[in-house]
Structure 1
Amino acid sequence: MPTPVVDVWGGVSPEPRSAIPSAPEPHDEWPLDGGTAWVYYSPLNRRQLIRPVILSDGFSSGGSELDRLWNGLEENGDFRFISELHATGRDVIILGYNDRTASIKDNADTAIDCIRRALAERVGRSKLVVGGFSMGGLVTRYALAKMEQDPTLPDHETALHLSYDSPHHGGWLPVSLQGFIHFATDHFGEDPIVGQFIRLFSGLLNSPAAKQMARWYIAKADDTPAPASERVEFLRELDELGGWPRNVRRIGVANGVDTGTGNGIKPDVTAVRGDGTTLQDTWLKTQGQGDRVVARLQKKGGQPTEVRTSGLPEIDGAPGGLFTLPLPDGSDPGSFGLAGLLMRGLRNTVDEGGIPTSCFIPSVSAVAAGDIDDQKALYAPITPDRSELDAFLCAGRNEGHTTMTEELGAWIVNEIVATA
């Protein structure tokens, strides 16, 4: 079984590690408290920081990787985001973290350190553009809001905050999959073939950042889904900071549509089933409304465990950015496909049911236009008056989370030019 490259919840590159070319040498590199900033000056600015644009990495395993970030922004989509920003005279600062699973608040302090360094290095008085991809949009949102409220911190001098498919109102990881990961950790975490991968995904699921982001979380397979205490505390503290930075223009994009049209995944159907050497009639279903058994988990010869939900919406099929899981061989099993991959690694026969993945960041969350626990809001057309953003754009189709496209990337560049 190949070693996974877990840029699932925030990395912008869908390429396998072995296929990623090296990024160009940055013009400058700033060691930060908790991370690193890689600086690429616009060719128009003669190696001076004149119009800074800070782009934050998001959630993933381990530390940020410049090669992966560069290629996701510049090489892997159909739009060369950094080159286009450089052509407008903007200097690009790619912000990475030592631990992308750390608390959003901890990485927000690293973002603040980066902003302060950018202000110190800046030539002239042009205001900053600050934002990020996936959770990076939430990290920088918190950082700017904190800088406005904390009298010990300087003025952030930022004109625009941008977010790219960020979980402003929470993200979705199927409760059935969460239950399976907990079950697999308990029973097969030391398996000689796939144990290390099970522990890796368990660590991601149970990390501070994942708990803060996930709208529903379970700590064990038979738990009742609810926001984790870490999320409740984070939202309370964000609200105490005003919720958003107040003195900046707020823009965002979604990798899902704004028409209310879902991705075609039906609710309450079996997405993956495994049976064989180590598992017995173990299956995961897509999320349905009402009281549902969304997973049946059984070790061969053991007692079955049921994963139950009540009152959740049909969110697997909702409009939004799709859960992606790039692997080194170039494949992308998706959310339910991950369960199938682990089932096979545990030496079982697997029926994947034609449903490899699910919605990850609903469009209403990415553009802060509705609660993702609201069935009607998830599937309703999104209008500007519903959003907490000053301007937003949703994709023309439901596509992979943080996919860089000309449609979304060019819109952001135009907004930056018009604002900062």
Structure 2
Amino acid sequence: MSEPTHEQIVSELHSRPPITLVPGPRLDAEPHGALPLPPSTVWDLPGGTAWVYYGEGNPGLVRPVIFADGFNTGPSSLDFCWEIMEFGDYALISELRRRGHDVILLGFHERSASIPDNSKTAQAAIARAIDERRGDTPLAVGGFSMGGLVTRHALAAMESQDVDHQAALYFSYDSPHRGAWIPIALQAFAHYIKDLDSRFSDQINSPAARQLLWRHIEKWDGTPERSDQRAAFLAEMQAVGEWPRRPRLIGVANGTADGVGTDVRAGELALEGKGLSVLGTKLYTQAPGDDELVAKLRVVTLKSNEGRTSGLPSIDGAPGGSLEGFGILADAFNALSPVLGFKTDVRIRSHCFVPAVSAVDIRDLDTDEELYANISALPREESGLDEFLLASHNEGHSLVTQELCAWLLDRLP
């Protein structure tokens, strides 16, 4: 059998959904078959859409709770919002509505757009909620992952402009207040296959990714560093006061407070190419130290290259919300036609995506000492949040659980 041509590989890759490193069901997950309920109304907003569900027995918008969508590529999807919030471990939308809260699912036309850009959509949603609300119950405003940063900026920006957002509560759900993490090995691989399919690389290099990621590389052989766009975003947050001052600020994290990480060890082989087109490719978890090998890269051509890092901590196994980054890549390649030669063996599916210390804004990510800090022993006033809760065990990023949601629900106005 002849080897596949460059054109055949490109054609099949583009016939498949893009490789996107976001939470959600695995490719091999059993479909649940449930469909989202039709919303009570839909708001067309500048840069986005809001799907509004009135609380049980409410004649209209009475007790609004805004949930902003997180990072991904392309437009927000109502199906995806329900997948995360209702059809997982805990039926959050149903419970909110049962308690009389009106649920506003805030989506964006482009989830990988810059956070300040999508903040304008959040500000429009807040203004619409105030305009349509019956009565004077204050708003609760927040979001999942990046959505927590979008709404944090939105509320702070409105205050800086003397706009009354009428929110009594801000909340974040596993939001990367001090940065998120995609292994440099995965970033390098995304850029390495750019000539075959640029969509993976485009996600890593999108404005939102550059702003979210604690360390970023633009090219496969780049040096991991804080991107210029992240530096600009942090300066923008400082310009609007870092945090909104009027609402109470709370947050939950999918990582633990005790500083105990996962069983992912530093410098371990996570993914290995087995098919002819990727034979020789090896992606490793991040190891501390200088000149550490994180990736051996070979795709289609005989040439191979290496990616190395210096001075980075053992972040892949840190306590926090995890993402199946290596698993997502392996699943996508193993779903391709075998004749293309992209079969891979994944040994470590998940890595830390939002460290617990980032989700509760209490430590930076520069060292193992900070990443693996015992948060329960730290003074709470060191966090930008007024109150927070961490999970009892490390779990998937943005996983909606009864443990975290019950705490959050009890604090809504």
Report the Cα distance in structure 2 between the residues aligned to 1:127 and 1:38, rounded to whole angstroms: 19
Equivalent position amino acid for 2:313 in 1: P
The match for 1:124 is 135
TM-score normalised by structure 2 residue count: 0.89
Residue 415, structure 1, aligned to residue 411, structure 2: yes
The match for 1:24 is 37
Residue 351, structure 1, aligned to residue 345, structure 2: yes
The match for 1:380 is 373
Deviations 1:21-73 (A, max 9, x none): 3211111111100111111111232x221111011111112111112212321
Higher relative contact order (CA 8 A, sep 6+): 1
Deviations 1:149-185 (A, max 9, x none): 024xx31011111111111111100001111111111
Superposition deviation, residue 343 in structure 1:
5.5
Q: 1:188-227 counterparts in 2 under 5 A?
A: 189=196, 198-227=197-226
Report the Cα distance in structure 1 between the residues aligned to 2:191 and 2:268, rounded to whole angstroms: 21
Superposition deviation, residue 19 in structure 1:
4.7
The match for 1:270 is 269
1:337 to 327, 334, 343: 327
Report the Cα distance in structure 2 between the residues aligned to 1:71 and 1:220, rounded to whole angstroms: 33
53 and 348 in structure 1: CA distance in 2 versus 1, 3 angstrom threshold: closer
The match for 1:305 is 305
Report the Cα distance in structure 1 between the residues aligned to 2:333 and 2:54, rounded to whole angstroms: 47
Report the Cα distance in structure 1 between the residues aligned to 2:189 and 2:21, rounded to whole angstroms: 17
SS in 2 for 1:185: coil
SS in 2 for 1:222: coil
Superposition deviation, residue 17 in structure 1:
10
Which segments of 5 or more consecutive residues in structure 1 lack a partner in the other structure? Answer: 190-197, 324-333
2:86 to 61, 74, 83: 74
Deviations 1:217-257 (A, max 9, x none): 10111110001111110110111111111111111111111
Equivalent position amino acid for 1:410 in 2: A
TM-score normalised by structure 1 residue count: 0.88
214 and 60 in structure 1: CA distance in 2 versus 1, 3 angstrom threshold: same
The match for 1:363 is 356
The match for 2:397 is 401
Superposition deviation, residue 3 in structure 1:
3.9
- 8 Å CA contact 2:19–2:199 kept in 1: the answer is no
407 and 12 in structure 1: CA distance in 2 versus 1, 3 angstrom threshold: farther
- 8 Å CA contact 2:189–2:220 kept in 1: the answer is yes
- 8 Å CA contact 2:322–2:351 kept in 1: the answer is yes
SS in 2 for 1:361: strand
Which segments of 5 or more consecutive residues in structure 2 lack a partner in the other structure? Answer: 1-11
Equivalent position amino acid for 1:209 in 2: A
SS in 1 for 2:392: coil
SS in 1 for 2:141: strand
- 8 Å CA contact 2:170–2:249 kept in 1: the answer is yes
Residue 175, structure 1, aligned to residue 184, structure 2: yes
Superposition deviation, residue 116 in structure 1:
0.3
172 and 253 in structure 1: CA distance in 2 versus 1, 3 angstrom threshold: same
Deviations 1:171-207 (A, max 9, x none): 1000011111111114xx1xxxxxxxx4322221111
- 8 Å CA contact 1:12–1:69 kept in 2: the answer is no
Superposition deviation, residue 84 in structure 1:
2.0
268 and 55 in structure 1: CA distance in 2 versus 1, 3 angstrom threshold: same
Report the Cα distance in structure 2 between the residues aligned to 1:224 and 1:137, rounded to whole angstroms: 29
- 8 Å CA contact 2:193–2:299 kept in 1: the answer is no
Report the Cα distance in structure 1 between the residues aligned to 2:78 and 2:332, rounded to whole angstroms: 29
88 and 343 in structure 1: CA distance in 2 versus 1, 3 angstrom threshold: closer
55 and 20 in structure 1: CA distance in 2 versus 1, 3 angstrom threshold: farther
The match for 1:328 is none
Report the Cα distance in structure 1 between the residues aligned to 2:348 and 2:373, rounded to whole angstroms: 23
Equivalent position amino acid for 2:177 in 1: H
Residue 44, structure 1, aligned to residue 57, structure 2: yes
The match for 1:330 is none
Report the Cα distance in structure 2 between the residues aligned to 1:161 and 1:17, rounded to whole angstroms: 35
73 and 12 in structure 1: CA distance in 2 versus 1, 3 angstrom threshold: farther
Q: 1:64-103 counterparts in 2 under 5 A?
A: 64-77=76-89, 79-103=90-114
Equivalent position amino acid for 2:156 in 1: A
- 8 Å CA contact 1:176–1:285 kept in 2: the answer is yes
Report the Cα distance in structure 2 between the residues aligned to 1:385 and 1:4, rounded to whole angstroms: 44
Report the Cα distance in structure 2 between the residues aligned to 1:58 and 1:8, rounded to whole angstroms: 12
41 and 288 in structure 1: CA distance in 2 versus 1, 3 angstrom threshold: same
Report the Cα distance in structure 1 between the residues aligned to 2:265 and 2:296, rounded to whole angstroms: 19
7 and 115 in structure 1: CA distance in 2 versus 1, 3 angstrom threshold: farther
- 8 Å CA contact 1:276–1:349 kept in 2: the answer is yes
361 and 162 in structure 1: CA distance in 2 versus 1, 3 angstrom threshold: same
- 8 Å CA contact 1:14–1:72 kept in 2: the answer is no
- 8 Å CA contact 1:221–1:306 kept in 2: the answer is no
The match for 1:56 is 68
SS in 1 for 2:57: helix
- C-alpha root-mean-square deviation of aligned residues, in Å? 2.1
Equivalent position amino acid for 1:32 in 2: L
Superposition deviation, residue 14 in structure 1:
6.5
- 8 Å CA contact 1:42–1:86 kept in 2: the answer is yes
20 and 8 in structure 1: CA distance in 2 versus 1, 3 angstrom threshold: farther
- 8 Å CA contact 1:56–1:132 kept in 2: the answer is yes
